[in-house]
Structure 1
Amino acid sequence: MPFAPSGLRPGVVVAFVLLDIVIILIAARLCGAAARKVGQPAVVGEIVAGILLGPTLLGPKLFELANPPDFLHCDVSNPATTADGSPFVASVSSCLFPAQARGVLGLLGQVALVFFMFLVGIEVNARTLKGKEKGIGLVSVGAVLVPVALAFVIAPILWNSDFVPGFGTDASPNRLGFTLFVGALLSVTAFPVMARILQEKGLTTSPMGATGIAAAGVVTILMFLIIASADGVAKEKDLLDIGRVWVIAAIYIAVMLLVVKRLLAPLGRSYARTGKLSPDAFALFIGVAVASGYVADRIGINVIVGGFIAGLVIPEPRPEMWRELTNRIGEFTAVILLPIFLAFSGLNTDFTALTAAAVPGIIVLVVAGIVGKLVGGAVFARLGGLSWAEGRVIGVLMNCRGLLVLVAALVAVEAGAISPLLQLGGVVMALVTTAMTGPLFDTSVAQLNTPGTEAEPEPEPAP
């Protein structure tokens, strides 16, 4: 069957988006439930669900469609040839998830990240961070500095045709930019997963928990600043342009924390009096989150940072605000929107493209990521005044990548700095490090209860 890249009509795109959401939700719930049955967080199953819906399982190597049914519109939704000029081969994945529908799914995924990190930001209690600035600063530096240093060690191993797009040609990225992108992949921490685990274990307000959560927030901001710098270096921008991103990011964060937070304070006082969040206040908070995500994206530090910073400026009483906003948007975001983002990442991941020659490089990437976080988190937590037992717990939590490494890898691929094979390595890192977090965390926390360690969490401060 010939394929013409004429595109789908808007009405058909809407139909495909609705169908795709249904498919994604079913796959995410089934795989998430399977992950929980084997003692893993649901996010591991949801990542796997996205991979299974993509070319890895439903692609042309296993599910080629020589004569696609007319109702799938494969003849107009896919190109005649692929990027390398070879004939396009229709498959279940490419026909069920056409490019036009994937674009909409990608947008929904970005909205999910804004709202999800908005709620995480609200959950951070500033009172538990007082007096812990040294520990927060050192853990933040260690959890970024050590992985980035390791990136410079392993980059020469990864600098080959498997992992560098356009390797050996004028189209290849700047080598320093490539190395910084690898450093960003290694420095990622799954901030939302860390916060949730510590909350479930009752350790959120302990010195270790408060330090870890705040440090993870700083690491997330630094990681996206590294990505923005890497993008600038890869595109051979001058140092002034690259430095401007850091300056503008600092101004943006200062304005949010010092100005916007004060402007929103009256809404907090009104909520404290009435115990209700009015529709106008709710709309304003959502508007702040979306606007913050937009500004962060335009700066180059990603919408996820914008959502988190917006959560930090929500006024007191924050615990009550968090419960109210979680009741309104939390479940919809976590159950509906986030699986869409994870599926979108999986649709762009093809494990069938993995070659034997690329396996050693991916192993090096994953091992470097694990070592950098475990060592950087533990050692610098100890330097910050925590015990070795607490440092090991922080190192384990910092090592968890969750969905954020998928965000970083997607940004790097879209920037033309890494190949889809290295993005696949990021997916492997997400699966391995997230899966190992639960068992390692339980073992490390058990050591907190041994004599001579700080075992008991501090009580939650009164609102």
Structure 2
Amino acid sequence: MPDLALLLVTLAVLLPLARCFGWAFTRIRQPAVLGEITCGLVVGIALQAGSGLPGSVETTLDALAQLGLILFLFGVGARLAPSITAARITAAFVPALGATVVPIVLGALLALWLATRHAPAGVTPFVLFAAAAMAVTAFPVLARILAERRMLDDPRGRCALTAAAITDATAWATLAFVAASVHSGTQVWSLLGVVPFLLGLLVLARPWSGRTLDRLSAPAATVTMVVLACAGAAVTGTIGLHAAIGAFLIGTAIGRPSSRHDPAALIAPIASLLVPLYFVLIGRKVDLGELDTTLVTETLAIIAVAVIAKGGGAYLGARLAGQAPRPAAVFATLMNTRGVTELVFLSIGLGLGVIDSAFYTAMVAMALVTTAMTGPLLNRLERNKVTRDA
């Protein structure tokens, strides 16, 4: 079969299959991304049992998945932007501090123990990356959970969204630093290239950009968003950082909705078409054959530290900010959601060569477990509240 025909057949199979797996998981009140990862695991096992796909088809699939990632992270940045205001940051700063600092510290200590087995690019980049990965909160999944529970306008929901914006901004900044440090030959050029890029972000963030967007029709505005996302990704990819970082930053710069268009909403249909393919490919990268007694022990340790550090740090920060125990527990549960953002973060780290495939597998397991925990824990807290009120 010609490569083009094989590619089209593969897309015709993978896209609906990913949707079906995602739908099945939503029926059991779990995020669709868990189903898409499971789909990737199943497809990976099936392909390993057969002859696999030709290299040209694999390359094209990866390119389409990367485009999905770029548009997805542009949308994440656009959704983050409204939460990054002075008033909201002030109110959420102490809770966010607990949800950021404690996971980073405990994650760094755990990474020092794991570095002897899983640090292909050196101990320092590995420790920095692992510490930042422990601090990640999945902003898109968190926003969806809050919307489903009608908490977006609740003070607890707003605090959680803003705290997630602060922690994720810290994590992505650390990832940008790690990406620059592992490309030792491009560090100087990276630093020089970042300056005009940041200046361009400041220009895009000016109010006139929203007014310019208002003058465009919806199709033209959508094309503009895609062009900006791809351009930002190309710039950061060229200067030695990961391409996805540029798309994310462009999204945060231009993400405040104008009177006619919401950049995140404009980009969502295209991103939602391609991003499941990305998560299917993430599932294919998980190598269950590497699971041995040592890796299982390390995975359990990673999950335990992730839950204790993120949940405990967020709870401590919320209590220090004056929240009562139950709202603080709700905040901690929400902040422990890793979801898609963690998976993207890990995939970038694997692509940079900062972590190995075994650590990647362990961290993916942690992301799936902590995401799956969120719904049941929130339901438990709500039931306890109803019981006490009764």
TM-score over 0.5 for the pair: yes
1:29 paired to 2:29: no
1:197 paired to 2:145: yes
- Cα separation, 1, equivalents of 2:193 and 2:313: 28
Q: Which amino acid aligns with 1:203?
A: M
- Cα separation, 2, equivalents of 1:320 and 1:446: 41
In the alignment of these two chains, the number of paired residues is 389
Task: Quote how far apart the aligned CAs of 1:298 are.
Answer: 4.5
8 Å contact 1:232–1:242 — kept in the other structure? no
Secondary structure in structure 1 of the residue aligned to 2:339: coil
Q: Which one of the candidate residues 302, 312, 330 is aligned to 1:393?
A: 330
1:150 paired to 2:150: no
8 Å contact 1:267–1:315 — kept in the other structure? no
- Show the 5 A alignment for 1:73-222: 92=50, 95-123=51-79, 126=82, 129=85, 131-161=87-117, 163-165=118-120, 173-222=121-170
8 Å contact 1:110–1:303 — kept in the other structure? no
Alignment correspondent of 1:266:
211
Alignment correspondent of 1:403:
340
1:49 paired to 2:55: no
Q: Structure 1's 30 and 331: CA in aligned 2 closer, same or farther, altered over 3 A? A: same
Secondary structure in structure 2 of the residue aligned to 1:205: coil
Q: Which one of the candidate residues 321, 334, 347 is aligned to 2:261?
A: 321
Alignment correspondent of 2:230:
290
Deviations 1:338-377 (A, max 9, x none): 1110111122221122112221111111211121211122
- Cα separation, 2, equivalents of 1:182 and 1:384: 27
Range with bigger deviation, 400-409 or 288-297: 288-297
1:226 paired to 2:174: yes
- Show the 5 A alignment for 1:414-425: 414-425=351-362
- Show the 5 A alignment for 1:270-419: 270=215, 277-298=217-238, 302-314=242-254, 318=258, 321-322=261-262, 326=265, 329-334=267-272, 336-419=273-356
Alignment correspondent of 1:434:
371
8 Å contact 1:413–1:423 — kept in the other structure? yes
Could you list the runs of 5+ residues in structure 1 that have no partner in the other structure? 1-10, 64-91, 166-172, 272-276, 453-463
Q: Structure 1's 381 and 102: CA in aligned 2 closer, same or farther, altered over 3 A? A: farther
8 Å contact 1:40–1:438 — kept in the other structure? yes
Q: Which amino acid aligns with 2:282?
A: S
Q: Which amino acid aligns with 2:277?
A: I
TM-score (normalizing by structure 1):
0.73
Q: Which amino acid aligns with 2:268?
A: G
- Cα separation, 2, equivalents of 1:181 and 1:130: 28
- Cα separation, 2, equivalents of 1:278 and 1:36: 30
8 Å contact 1:123–1:319 — kept in the other structure? no
The percent of aligned pairs where both chains have the same amino acid is 27
Structure with larger Rg: 1
Q: Which amino acid aligns with 2:63?
A: L
8 Å contact 2:80–2:255 — kept in the other structure? no
More helix by share: 2
- Cα separation, 2, equivalents of 1:26 and 1:206: 36
Q: Structure 1's 279 and 407: CA in aligned 2 closer, same or farther, altered over 3 A? A: closer
1:58 paired to 2:46: yes
When the two chains are superposed, the root-mean-square deviation of aligned CA atoms in Å is 3.4
8 Å contact 1:112–1:338 — kept in the other structure? yes
Higher relative contact order (CA 8 A, sep 6+): 2
- Cα separation, 2, equivalents of 1:296 and 1:139: 31
Q: Structure 1's 350 and 108: CA in aligned 2 closer, same or farther, altered over 3 A? A: same
